[in-house]
Chain A
Amino acid sequence: MSEVATRRISYSQALNEALSEEMERDPSVLMLGEDVAAPGGVFGVTKGLYEKFGENRVLDTPISEEAMVGAALGASLLGVPTVTEIMFGDFVTLAMDQLVNQAAKFHYMTGGRTSAPMVVRMVTGTAGATAAQHSQSLESWFTHTPGLKVVTASTPYEAKGLLKSAIRDPDPVMFFEHKLLYNSKGDVPEGEYTLPLGEGAVVREGTDVTVVAYLNMLPKVLQAAKKLDREGISVEVWNPRSLVPFDRAGLERTLSKTGRLVIVHEAPRRSGFGAEIAAIAAEEYFDSLKAPICRLGGANTPIPYAPEMENRVIPGVENIIEAVRQTLR
């Protein structure tokens, strides 16, 4: 991006700009959610949009996730793209029929004769003592439902570029944002840009080991990589950006360079998306691998309340460093 003029903005500002620009570009786009209008969303992402686009386009809903997501789908089937905010991702369980049985399947079960251009923004992850029903990382549920695209935004640059692409995408997109990232800052280009779904990115170049990470594990992995650098271990950090579609070629490129793979996510390790990435690497790029793959995930427990227990069940910088060292042993 050296040629492009940039601005430093927060992750939540980046999301806000994406929403604002896309609603301006396409007068049919509607936004729905709990407290998204005048209150601007519980994390402030939709601030100012109600004032800018009015009550006909920024719709505060009752606390009715099923009707909210179903209505978003119904509108999208008639050609009105929608963006729905699930206030805490955990509440998506209340809308699962509309996502899993309806949205994911409409295009397929009508033989390609309908489409559902809808985005569901999921506020996800631990944020310090938010406990078991406000902290989960549920992305792998949706990767297991064919028909849904699954996107994660880890930086302001990604948040803006990926959300704009998701809104323009003709399919249902589950868009994961992490609570602890909303205030993080980063550079975004001054002008209009989008980032394609299905293209990962090398976030930090290295030669000894590839660490795959997204959402709030990405900054932790970058911290770990810095520390490991001092030990003479060169870590490449690769961020898939979207889990469905998944950038196999990107994974292959980094693996053919490093030959070692560590995957880190906050979601429980068991059946987490890391298992899928590990399987792709083992099945398709086995010849590139010099060491066993290591998966680092959340403990297979609900998220506890006490901060010291919460830290125990989510991978930390030290766990990442240890995993990398092990892979190199």
Chain B
Amino acid sequence: MPNNNLQNYNPEFLARLYHDMVLIRRFEERASELRNAGHIPGFLHPYIGQEAVAVGICAALGKNDFIASTHRGHGHILARGGEPKHMFAELYARQDGYNRAKGGSLHIANIELGIIGANGIVGGGIPLVVGAALAIKRANEADYPGTEKCAGGVSVVFFGDGASNEGSFHESLNLAALWKLPVIFVCENNLYGEFTSQEKHQTIKDIASRSSSYNMTGLIADGNDVLDVFHVMTTAVDNARKGNGPTLLECKTYRHRGHYEGDMAHYRPKEEVEFWMAKDPIDNFGKRLMEGSLMKKEDFQTVEDEIEKTLVDAAEFAGQSPHPDPEEALENVFVESYEGRALL
């Protein structure tokens, strides 16, 4: 059983966690710059500050596992193996985007990578993973083509404190608990539902406490500590794989920026922002790796350089990818035989 002690982990694994968190941070910073430079037509909800959650959660997953994400989804998709070049191409609204320019930031999906999709509706992805878990359960029982892609898997949904007030959250927790499905409900409690602080939208502090209503295990992780997230998530995943049912896992974290790119977030007290900035998940994990002699100063620069190159190449790839033909807008309404244009 892994725990929070650095010495219990393979150094390469720790370096990968660090790398993935930095990749998310730099991806989001770059996306913001590219949007300001006019390359990205849509809007963005930056994941900056919450990187330890996506990376710690996805590090505990295997290839037959599935995630569903949120409007703040870039971090989850990168942590699950999404390629920056196809993500930038999607944000640029170009043909090589994951969704062929039909989705944008809010809808990036790739079932082959185990990504059911980001989601533009708060709480919208939660029932989907209950269904993914049903498919996994069916694949465990029966023999039909495709079972090898999800048998033995678990499904995971990310959502925020705001979504925990939606009916979809409560209905889904009840259903998953009732059917003992292999689901991990990961609540990223960043203390704000859009512009409204948690204390103004619910009477509880610990969303994990809502698990007791459904006779489900509830766990809390320090969402700014990637190893703690990974450790707690591993427990939840083990339980799910053993058939012991779902877990509600709350990760306490904070978004460094506003709800969306451009929101100055004046509604947040200065002291609160400073408190959380001091808990930066990347800085703190980097410090621990240094203190543990697992990474040297120059290693950090190597990570930065490598990521810089990846993102420069990715943005170039996106910039060179062709714009979609406007006529493509009329395709893909249905799977086959009918094109959008002639169809009622």
CB within 8 Å of B: which residues of A? Answer: 26-28, 30, 56-57, 59, 61-62, 64, 66-80, 82, 97-98, 101-102, 106-115, 143, 146-147, 149, 170-171, 198, 243-246, 276, 280
Contact = CB atoms under 8 A, between A and B. Distances in A.
Contact of A108 (B98, B102, B136): B102
B44 interface: no
Nearest to B342: A248
Given A67-B175, A111-B102, A146-B333, A75 B135 contact: yes
Contacts of A98: 124, 127, 168
Interface stretch (B2-10, B72-80, B142-150): B142-150
A68 B174 CA distance: 11
Interface of B: 66, 68, 97-103, 107, 109-111, 116-117, 119-121, 124, 126-139, 141-144, 146, 149-150, 155, 167-168, 171-172, 174-175, 178-179, 331-336, 338, 340, 343-344
A80 to B, nearest CB: 4
Given A74-B134, A244-B343, A97 B178 contact: no
Contact of A101 (B120, B137, B172): B120
A30 B138 contact: yes
A112 B331 contact: yes
A56 B137 contact: yes
B131 A112 contact: no
A115 B138 contact: no
Contact of B121 (A76, A97, A111): A97
Contacts of A79: 135, 146, 149
A107 B128 contact: no
Contact of B111 (A30, A72, A78, A102): A78
Contact of B168 (A26, A57, A67, A146): A67
Given A67-B175, A70-B168, A115-B335, 6 more contacts: A67-B130, A97-B124, A98-B124, A244-B343, A276-B344, A280-B344
Contacts of B117: 106, 110, 114
A110 B175 contact: no
Contacts of A76: 131
Contacts of B107: 109-110
Contacts of A244: 343-344
A113 B116 CA distance: 11
A114 B119 CA distance: 14
A293 B332 CA distance: 34
A150 B142 CA distance: 30
Given A111-B102, A146-B333, A102 B131 contact: no
Contacts of B144: 26-28
B121 A245 contact: no
Contacts of B168: 66-67, 70, 97-98
Contacts of B149: 78-79
Contacts of B132: 74-75, 77-78
24 contacts: A28-B144, A56-B137, A56-B138, A59-B179, A67-B168, A67-B172, A70-B126, A74-B127, A74-B128, A74-B132, A97-B121, A101-B124, A107-B333, A110-B107, A111-B100, A111-B102, A113-B100, A113-B110, A143-B344, A146-B340, A147-B333, A170-B335, A170-B336, A243-B344
Nearest to A276: B344
Given A111-B102, A245-B344, A73 B137 contact: no
Contact of A74 (B131, B167, B333): B131
Closest 9 CB pairs of A and B: A74-B131, A70-B127, A111-B100, A67-B171, A78-B135, A74-B128, A71-B131, A170-B335, A64-B171
B129 to A, nearest CB: 6
A110 B113 CA distance: 14
B111 A77 contact: yes
A147 B68 CA distance: 21
A95 to B, nearest CB: 9
B344 A28 contact: no
A155 to B, nearest CB: 23
A59 B126 CA distance: 19
Contacts of B142: 27-28
A66 B334 CA distance: 23
B100 A112 contact: yes
Contacts of A80: 134-135, 138-139
> Which of B66, B132, B134, B172 neighbours the largest number of chain A CB atoms within 10 Å of its CB?
B134
A129 to B, nearest CB: 30
A74 B129 contact: yes
B282 to A, nearest CB: 31
Contacts of A78: 66, 111, 131-132, 135-136, 146, 149-150
A149 B131 contact: no
B109 A73 contact: no
Contacts of A246: 343-344
A62 B174 CA distance: 8
A245 to B, nearest CB: 5
Contact of A109 (B99, B146, B174): B99
A62 B336 CA distance: 34
Contacts of B174: 62, 64, 67
A98 B179 CA distance: 20
Given A70-B168, A111-B99, A149 B334 contact: yes
Contacts of B99: 109-111, 113
Contacts of B175: 61-62, 64, 67-68, 71
Contacts of B338: 198, 245
Nearest to B174: A62
Given A66-B171, A97-B168, A110 B109 contact: yes
Given A26-B144, A67-B171, A244-B344, A109 B135 contact: no
Given A67-B168, A97-B168, A102-B124, A112 B138 contact: no
Nearest to B179: A59
